[in-house]
Copies of this chain bind each other. A is one copy, B any other.
């Protein structure tokens, strides 16, 4: 007798969800794309939450995160990194949380374990999608976020920490910037991720030594001060580097 794995697998898994910390950079500070759950929940707890959804039984975890991201932003092939699994049995305790879960088709009685991801997107490429919950999404500067629904604030902290560690080891920050950017923007980006000031000259020296920037012959326009040279990220050089193995990017 032949059994049909499709049938089994194409169902929603009621026990496992993914949540995404979608980082952006508005050229001033690090921001996160959050969902406003609306009035219903506001009387009970924080309105804002990380975007997320239950996984399907036939997709792997990364795919589920990609899907959530795509539904919300329309973006594909985005830098994605797993933060970890979060699963306190009492992580969903408020009535408003149960209501919310019903609205995304989850069984509110069941315990849900969530696998958290963080992603890095270029904010200027983001266009809100038509999907129901995407309408209420908005960017919020990370250091203005004081609380989130469920255990999402905890997840956010963990994601920030992971990002901090990662950027000391690999130049992933470019995923947050437009194609052309200035050294000052890159500088501010590093400062806002690491949450500490970095000496301008030392930063520039260090980043230049990596030899993954291509200086364009183009300047900033329309700024009320000396215009900056624009740079491009040089993917080839970066590939070379990762081959030969590099580690130290410590700020």
Contacts and interface: CB of A to CB of B under 8 A. Distances in A.
Interface stretch (A8-16, A41-49, A210-218, A229-237): A8-16
Contact of A113 (B8, B61, B89): B61
A199 interface: no
A136 interface: no
Nearest to A11: B111
Contact of A57 (B61, B89, B169): B89
Copies in the complex: 2
Nearest to A15: B15
Interface string A104-134: 0000011101010000000000000000000
Residue among A3, A55, A87, A88 with most chain B CB within 10 A: A87
Contact of A111 (B57, B89, B115, B248): B57
A61 B110 CA distance: 15
Given A84-B82, A84-B84, A85-B84, A8 B61 contact: no
A224 interface: no
Contacts of A111: 8-9, 13, 57
Interface string A50-69: 00000101111100000000
Contact of A9 (B8, B59, B89): B89
A246 B104 CA distance: 43
Nearest to A60: B88
Contact of A8 (B55, B109, B248): B109
B59 A16 contact: no
Contacts of A86: 61
Contacts of A84: 82, 84-85
Contacts of A60: 87-89
Contacts of A16: 15-16, 87, 113
Interface of A: 3, 8-9, 13, 15-16, 55, 57-61, 82, 84-89, 109-111, 113, 115, 165, 169, 247-248, 250
20 contacts: A8-B110, A9-B89, A13-B15, A13-B111, A13-B113, A15-B15, A15-B16, A57-B89, A60-B88, A60-B89, A61-B113, A82-B84, A82-B85, A84-B85, A85-B115, A113-B115, A165-B165, A247-B250, A248-B250, A250-B250
Given A3-B109, A8-B111, A13-B15, 20 more contacts: A8-B109, A9-B89, A9-B111, A15-B15, A15-B16, A16-B16, A16-B87, A16-B113, A57-B89, A57-B111, A58-B89, A60-B87, A60-B88, A61-B87, A82-B85, A84-B84, A113-B113, A113-B115, A165-B165, A165-B169
